Amino acid sequence: MSQSAAPAYTPEVLASLASELEHAGELCDRLEMLVTQLVRASRGEPLEIALHEAQTLDVLTQHLAALATFTRKLSTQAESGHYDLTDAVAGVTLGDLAKRLAKATRESEAFAAQASGDLDLF
């Protein structure tokens, strides 16, 4: 038998998601420390490969932190029932991620304008 869950409150859901993203970032930080130790212990040609992988892990950590910042901003906005996605994207420090989120923002705004019945001339 299926039981229906209690309704979720959007700000709490987004804040919880932001916390989980931050936790994942902390785990990546710990993994990055391990990779750094392994890089320092290696010698020769594999060192260059290890350095590249360590940098990739750093980018992942930054990516998770930026998503957490974006999500946390949305969670504070959710209380008002209005989302300013441009403001939320402004807090994202990674340029490529900010561009992708901003693109999604523009596309969702264009969809909202179409859905509202605004005239679209070609």
Share of the chain above pLDDT 70, in %: 71
Of the ranges 62-66, 94-98, 107-111, the best mean pLDDT one: 62-66
Q: How confident is the model at residue 122 (pLDDT cuts 50, 70, 90)?
A: very low
Question: By mean pLDDT, which of 27-31, 44-48, 100-104, 106-110 is the weakest?
Answer: 106-110
Q: What crossing angle do the helices spanning 95-115 and 46-78 adopt, rounded to 10°?
A: 40
pLDDT tens digits, one per residue of 101-110: 888 766 555 5
Question: In this model, does residue 119 exceed pLDDT 90?
Answer: no
How far apart CA 109 and CA 96 sit, in angstroms, is 20
Q: What is the mean pLDDT of residues 60-86?
A: 90
SS3 state of residue 92: coil
Q: How far apart are CA 7 and CA 87, in angstroms?
A: 27
